[in-house]
Chain A
Amino acid sequence: MAAGLVARRLVQAAAALLVVLLVVFACLLATGDPVDLLAPPEASERDKALLRRAYGLDQPVVYQFAAFVWRAARGDFGRSLFSDRPALRLVSERLPASLELALASTLIAVVVGVPLGIVAAMRRATVVDQLVIAVALLGQSVASFWLALMLILLFAVSLHWLPVSGRDGWASLLLPALALSFWLLALLARLTRSEMLEVLDQDYIRTARAKGMGTAAVVVRHGLRNALIPLVTVTGVSLGWQLGGAVVIETVFAWPGLGTTLLEAVLRRDYPVVLAGVAVLSAVFVVINLLVDLLYVYIDPRIRVGAA
């Protein structure tokens, strides 16, 4: 039964990927002739026609899309219109840096946000609780790229503690990861707090306390474990969001990731690179969502029983 569930999710994932590619492909077509961008101003119509044929742009649209999907399935997205390098290689070279940033920021958000939420729930309606609520509210109201600039101003420009930009060891990772993590940290703190408040009201918590169990054990073994499902969902899905958010943060810190490459390609209409970038990102999102779904089954026995 679980295999059937996985197979169904895999088909859904493939369909999702295809739809994303179709939408991006349609958007690309709607923007006009890429040959006008590629060819120098003095190029003749004959030169343009040659160029069009070289890139397969003279074929019918349906054929172009079918050929594109077929090539994409084999990892061939064409060559960059500017650097003439294979688009997929250009994109996949940059993916590890983006994943590193997204993972680091998610890690910071979980390690700080979840304990903050727990503490707030345990100290309900105290100054600590109010403070956590304020941090959570602030985190959802600050633009991450502005926070990034302010962090640069404080830690790199004024205090000289950390590098302004680039990717050279953990020190250069810290500021972009912090800037990117703040909103997720706020979201997790808020969510953990509300989930814990709900769980701490349950009868089994009262029973555990009545048995004489220590507060820490009650919170971790009974409270957190039951609040885990929504937290895992948000953390898993947010890894994808963090990759999306990284696009902008990467440009602020000149972080050599997929976001910087994709944004440059979008601004220059480097179609093969845009398509390869979107396809790779979509594939990552789809895989993450799939893993999160499968993870539930292991965390929550009730889902396992329900699925069977």
Chain B
Amino acid sequence: MRIGRIARRSPQLASGAAVVLVFVLVGTLAPLIADHDFDVQDLSLVLRPPLWAGGDLSHPLGTDEFGRDTLSRLVWGARVSLVVGFFSVVVAGLIGVSLGVLGGYRGGHVDALLMGIADVQYSFPYILLAIVITAFWGAGLVNVILALGLASWMTFARAARGSTLSVREGEYVMAARALGARPARIVLRHVLPNILAPLIVFTTFQVPSRILAEATLSFVGLGIQPPVPSWGNMLAQSRGYLLAQPWLVALPGLALTVVALGVNQLGDGLRDLLDPRMKHHVG
């Protein structure tokens, strides 16, 4: 079995892929997996402890201050993280790769202008930019995705530009140009397919930071708004119970860490697999 061989060769890739698979499944199938609705309150079941602290099976991870089931809210939270992590990278990737390829292929003033804009935006931490954008546009799922995408396109632009520059002078691109192919065709048929593999690995690396950024925005009240659960807003709401019910704070953060760790491991593993030269140099 090929999968078995890859797992033996790269346990990191295997464990990362397993975590990501579970995360994607839980996020996608949240309505089927979650035992309770995320916003159903039961004030007779407020702050129930989890199983290991004397709780019962009806609420295995306990309940929050409104009597809502923590496990179900974590499952729905996974869905939010999945959607934001994926789509914000797609938004940033579409903008960044388009501009990066354009700059790299055209060169000259276009390239200088685009990279100048990227440099200006780089001088500003992207989480702060996302905070400012969501503050002005308003919180909510779509705005968070757009804000994170707009605040971080430059990373993709730089990566795509670099790859385009190295591909641009390739013989097959020269040949296409000599045959009279138009720039759009050369970019779509010859440049993009050749820069895509490293970009996919690069994209994987970007997902965890977007998931953490969404949690951060939701934590400060500018991301996903209650009652829709996000791991970030769950943490914000349960902060006041740090002393009395520490698991309410520990569990969403733990979920966040495990998923980010899994995606990072998958990224590391993929990079080693696709570019074995890097294996000994980058940890």
Contact = CB atoms under 8 A, between A and B. Distances in A.
Nearest to A18: B120
B221 A143 contact: no
Contacts of A145: 216, 219, 235
A197 B243 CA distance: 45
Contacts of B242: 149, 152-153, 157
Interface residues of A, number: 54
Residue from B126, B131, B215 whose CB has the most chain A CB atoms within 10 Å: B131
A19 B246 CA distance: 44
Given A138-B261, A140-B208, A16 B119 contact: yes
Interface in B206-245: 208, 212, 215-216, 219-222, 232, 235, 239, 242-243
Given A141-B260, A143-B257, A247-B127, A27 B133 contact: yes
Main secondary structure of the interface of A (DSSP, over half): helix
A198 interface: yes
Residue from B257, B260, B280, B283 whose CB has the most chain A CB atoms within 10 Å: B283
Interface stretch (A59-67, A281-289, A295-303): A281-289
Interface string A1-39: 000000000001001100110001001101100000000
Interface string B157-192: 000000000000000000000000000000000000
A194 interface: yes
A229 interface: no
A278 interface: yes
Given A27-B133, A136-B283, A194-B282, A150 B261 contact: no
A142 B257 contact: yes
13 contacts: A12-B119, A16-B123, A19-B120, A133-B283, A140-B264, A141-B208, A143-B257, A146-B256, A153-B243, A194-B281, A243-B125, A248-B220, A266-B135
A248 B212 CA distance: 12
Contact of B212 (A132, A143, A269): A143
A24 B216 CA distance: 21
A178 interface: no
B268 A137 contact: yes
A263 B126 CA distance: 15
A20 B120 contact: yes
B60 interface: no
Interface string A130-167: 00110011101111011101101100010000000000
B40 interface: no
A240 interface: yes
A245 B253 CA distance: 17
B274 interface: no
A226 interface: no
A44 B83 CA distance: 45
A193 interface: yes
Nearest to B239: A149
A245 B120 contact: no
Contact of A27 (B132, B216, B280): B132
B127 A146 contact: no
Interface in B28-53: none
A141 B120 contact: no
B70 interface: no
Given A16-B123, A141-B260, A150 B250 contact: yes
A248 B127 CA distance: 10
A40 to B, nearest CB: 23
Contact of B235 (A141, A149, A247): A149
Contacts of B119: 12, 16
A124 B123 CA distance: 35
B123 A142 contact: no
B128 A143 contact: no
A216 interface: no
A235 B259 CA distance: 27
